[in-house]
Structure 1
């Protein structure tokens, strides 16, 4: 882990998998996200211990395993409380909810019950019900739905930790169909991040530290464009006639020039395409059609 100081009170802990936040007041600190597993949690503990700091709380931006996998270890070592939004706390306390939701709401197979999708369980409290904590630490908590339904961002001293609201170009080159669960909410979140919050730094969880609002706006635009491109690809394919969900996944992958060979990655893309279909369905742009016991999607005809 590498510690990067942003200003007097705010640091970024750059781990192998994600950027974690460290906020310091006197000899006390809070941590934003804890990484993938107990090893990450132990490394965070060792780091703050070397700095002579006492951990007062953990804030999780959202309930994905790579963001709270170190919680259990840190809580065991420090007894620190854990905060997130009410929705995300469900995933912290019942971590099988992540693979459960990815696998269509049924008992997930063992292949999905790994540390990348199912972290050790963690306690959790609704941060929005803990105003004294927020005020004591001088934080602003901002809802950032889209990547998950209840993701939050944290602002401290002109530094905005935005979780997985958007991804840097290197990450999008590697994962060109970015995971999301609510495409319309994510577009609104990105527009808000671009136009409303003019913090000097925006820290995204995967490789992104943006030191000017202009730099952040550029990468946000890149993310918005990718979302709109996938949206357009799906609509154009549906213009050609009935399509199954799998055919639409194929169309999205072909557009970004990716040949997916990994089931776990493929399954994330299925979920993402379903999120686009949910948006199209809610807008009466598409409708489900069942023929020969096969579910297809069709453009709604405009009379």
Structure 2
């Protein structure tokens, strides 16, 4: 882990639980794409910089999940680098309590206020086109989180953040976190058609062709949606559907999985309701979900 791998003359990635991009700029200056999960990840990145005599100019965050911004504060404190994050995700990066609060739907208990869901705050600025290095392009990748982006480097390497996962991860966890299902599917269709010299997903192997993996991720989303529909042939409350989803995919619930899968289930239900495939009924002061039977 935390091995520096060169892809092109300018572009590298640091192999880690959430792959980190590293791009050489002018002279000995470099920038990072994401910063790892925590202070320890930041230290390992700093060691790589020091071994190569590189100076960190900036960190470009793809989105505000803790495993992508966790090294921000340490690296900014050590190097004085600037940090950029896209749109709404910039607010989450500056105020990380927003992530567990969003997932829980209120003030989160201590069980959720840990480094896997709540990074340390850092001095992030809103990502703009003017803030990008010469030759860089940001690629909108919404769906997994609010305003997630990827980046295409000057030498045509595309960093894809969390817009798709490896087959192994999907087979292990089954239900990947999604904020907006409609946007997520649109993003996957867009990624399926992208061309680049190399693709670097955060949670899958580097590849020259990403289309097949994008298709697999699309199929998994549709599989989960169909499973949810089978769980509410009659009016069912959210907790019953969530319990059924955990059972159907042989998942084990804990506090973290409850909020991650629970938030994702709510997003699926919203998407299915907007598409007219489920409806809501209110009985005995309970909101119940029911599949809409097609004729």
Shorter-chain TM band: over 0.9
Rounded to whole Å, the distance in 2 between the matches of 1:93 and 1:123 is: 6
Pair 1:231-2:225 in alignment: yes
Match of 1:271 among 238, 251, 263: 263
Rounded to whole Å, the distance in 2 between the matches of 1:68 and 1:137 is: 23
SS state at 1:164 partner? strand
Quote the residue 1:209 is aligned against: 206
Rounded to whole Å, the distance in 1 between the matches of 2:156 and 2:294 is: 48
Unaligned runs of 5+ in 1: none
Matches within 5 A, 1:1-303: 1-15=2-16, 17-25=17-25, 26-104=27-105, 106-128=106-128, 130-131=129-130, 133-134=131-132, 136-156=133-153, 157-195=155-193, 197-210=194-207, 212-213=208-209, 216-238=210-232, 240-256=233-249, 258-300=250-292
8 Å CA contact 1:234–1:252 kept in 2: the answer is yes
8 Å CA contact 2:42–2:75 kept in 1: the answer is yes
CA RMSD of superposed structures (Å): 1.6
Moved over 4 A (4+): 300-303
8 Å CA contact 1:163–1:205 kept in 2: the answer is yes
8 Å CA contact 2:139–2:149 kept in 1: the answer is yes
TM-score, normalised with respect to structure 1 = 0.92
Rounded to whole Å, the distance in 2 between the matches of 1:233 and 1:252 is: 7
CA deviation after TM superposition for structure 1 residue 49, in Å:
1.6
SS state at 1:171 partner? helix
TM-score, normalised with respect to structure 2 = 0.94
Unaligned runs of 5+ in 2: none
Closer, same or farther in 2 for the Cα pair 1:302/1:2, shift >3 Å? closer
CA deviation after TM superposition for structure 1 residue 208, in Å:
2.3
TM-superposition CA deviations, 1:223-282 (whole Å, max 9, x none): 1000001111122333x21122122223333333x1314231132111111000111222
